[in-house]
Amino acid sequence: MAETQEQTGKDWKSISIARQNEIRNAIPKSHCLSPTVIEGLQDSRNLISIPETCGILSQRELEITSTPSITKLLADIRNRVYTAVEVTMAFCKRASIAHQLTNCLTEVLYDSALAQAQELDKHLLVTGEPVGLLHGLPISVKDHISIAGTRATSGLVSMADNISDRDAYIIEILRKAGAVFYVKTTNPLCMLAMETHSNLFGRTVSPYNTNLSPGGSSGGEAALISLRGSLLGVGTDIGGSLRAPAAFSNIYTLKASTGRIPVAGMEWWLHPGMETVQCVIGPMAIGVDGLELFHEAALASSPWLVEPSLVNKPWDKRVIVNGTILKPLRIGLMLNDGVVTPHPPILRSLKETAKALEEAGHIVIPWVPVDHKGMSELTTATFFQDNAQPARHLIKKSGEELTPLVKFALDGLQSKPLTVTESWDLTYRRNQYRLSYAKLWNESQIDAIICPAAPTVSPLHDTTKSWGYTLVFNLLDYSTAVFPAGKVLDIDGADALPEGVDLDATYPKNSLEELNQVYSKLWFDKDQNGKVLGPERYKYAPIGLQLVARRYEEEKVLGILRTVVEARRNGGLEAY
């Protein structure tokens, strides 16, 4: 059992500094950026090209880490174009670079990863067969998912030395499929924010613009994958923690419905028996094939036989024909959730995507959301039925300060835990929302919804206070993907203010009007010359959109996703 701060007598700042230094010192000297490169970073916000230009990676390592798809890399390993050892070393180096640029790692596991890769190479040489679907693929893992012998901290100083004694079940499954685990990645304090910032690890930044956040709580994964320090990572989502970071970071993700992917063995400060809205584990990847491979590998061993809370639903490739859904699709287009108006680049991308789908022969209809505000408030209430007492206790245990967004989250809670009757009422109301949304879906006869994943692109630090675009689909438990859909352009600055928003008005504190005003100001504030600041503030930021299908339609949503990506490509729209 890990020693507590009270037992060691160390103050929380000393523990945090020591932990950050330990991670920094674990990076081999041969992976360290040169003083010349570091000096050049001072004048640059966009660091996305640094891994290719810093001189640390060989040409072959650049070739490996820049592979066009995970499927191709796995085929190259099976066909002995590359060994698992050299692939692992390439990603260890690139992960080291990514950490120096964005502060995205919590554990460096290079020695054990290379030893594991060596065993995989021996197996392939002797048998001629891979050990499994993911043979030799380095996979990154979010901090609070247990890997035996590593720390799982949830970003808490009081859990700085919380060592996992066994693999989480999903890690066990992926390891048997041939995955190589080489790094763990940052998450925010208690996972209670949509940006990745903790006292224990510091702040993780976006490599596209270091003034912006890669999101949270799976923000370390997002930053790492966007720099191709990983091609496939494992994160979690209870309110948008896979989807918002993916949308902010030019990568793909899929949040499955509850009970589809194993979650046993995950270190989680929320009460493990909470079932109204549950945390799920899922993949983040450079492409759709990574999402498919993860789910196929995760379900191949019939995990519901070990983890009885899972549904008995094998991965069904028959839902997808030639990688896409062939029939004309009927898509609901949601431009606004009726709570916070998205920023202009997101609205532009939604309209461009809708046009591309229509030109490809699909039907796009307006989707008018019903009481997303009420659903967001209900979802938040379900998270904190105990008034966040476990989180408060663990924070108090070390004496650490609250980060700004965690303080915002905790300050907005009820004053005491709910009674059993009040908790049951939340579940009843959840079920009523699910019934009403199903009725609306049936009447509209749609296949999926395309909508924002957040009201902004990658957020300015400490500004993410609206989770509504993702939260509601946790409450509904829908299968939901995120995909890259462009980037911020200079032309995005000319849009008019959202209807009904007055930047100079005084609205009631914490009101819907005030929240919308806050988000509008982030984009529509003007400089001394009257120029809208949004395009410059969010320069280089990727745009990501959300694709939503019904419960347990993971295969279908990925088939539709491939169709959407193809339609955008054929319409001349760039992923970034």
User: 93, 142, 255, 556: which is the annotated catalytic residue?
Assistant: 142
Task: Find the helix or strand (DSSP H, E) in which 115 lies.
Answer: helix 110-127
Q: Does 238 show up as a binding residue in the annotation?
A: yes
Can you tell me the distance from the alpha carbon of 368 to that of 161, in angstroms, rounded to the nearest whole number? 48
Q: Is 241 a catalytic residue?
A: yes
Select from 199, 200, 196, 175 the least CA-distant residue to 187. 196
Select from 111, 79, 75 the least CA-distant residue to 92. 111
DSSP label at 515? H
Q: Which amino acid is at 307?
A: E
| Both tokens assigned to 22 | 């330990």
Can you tell me the distance from the alpha carbon of 502 to that of 217, in angstroms, rounded to the nearest whole number? 32
User: 241, 249, 398, 479: which is the annotated catalytic residue?
Assistant: 241
Can you tell me the distance from the alpha carbon of 425 to that of 226, in angstroms, rounded to the nearest whole number? 41
DSSP label at 133? T
List the end-to-end C-alpha distance of the chain, in Å, as a whole number.
Answer: 46
Q: Does 240 show up as a binding residue in the annotation?
A: yes
The size of the chain, in residues, is 576
Can you tell me the distance from the alpha carbon of 356 to that of 114, in angstroms, rounded to the nearest whole number? 45
Q: Does 239 show up as a binding residue in the annotation?
A: yes
Cβ contact 325:476 at 8 Å: no
3-state secondary structure 326-384: CCCCEEEECCCCCCCCCCHHHHHHHHHHHHHHHHCCCEEEECCCCCHHHHHHHHHHHHC
User: 96, 217, 226, 479: which is the annotated catalytic residue?
Assistant: 217
Helix (H, G, I), strand (E, B) or coil at 318: helix
Can you tell me the distance from the alpha carbon of 504 to that of 276, in angstroms, rounded to the nearest whole number? 40
Cβ contact 98:208 at 8 Å: no
Cβ contact 4:153 at 8 Å: no
Q: Does 241 show up as a binding residue in the annotation?
A: yes
Q: Is 439 a catalytic residue?
A: no
Q: Is 142 a catalytic residue?
A: yes
Cβ contact 493:534 at 8 Å: yes
- Which residues sit in the known binding site for substrate? 191, 217, 238-241
Q: Which residues are catalytic?
A: 142, 217, 241
- Which residues sit in the known binding site? 191, 217, 238-241
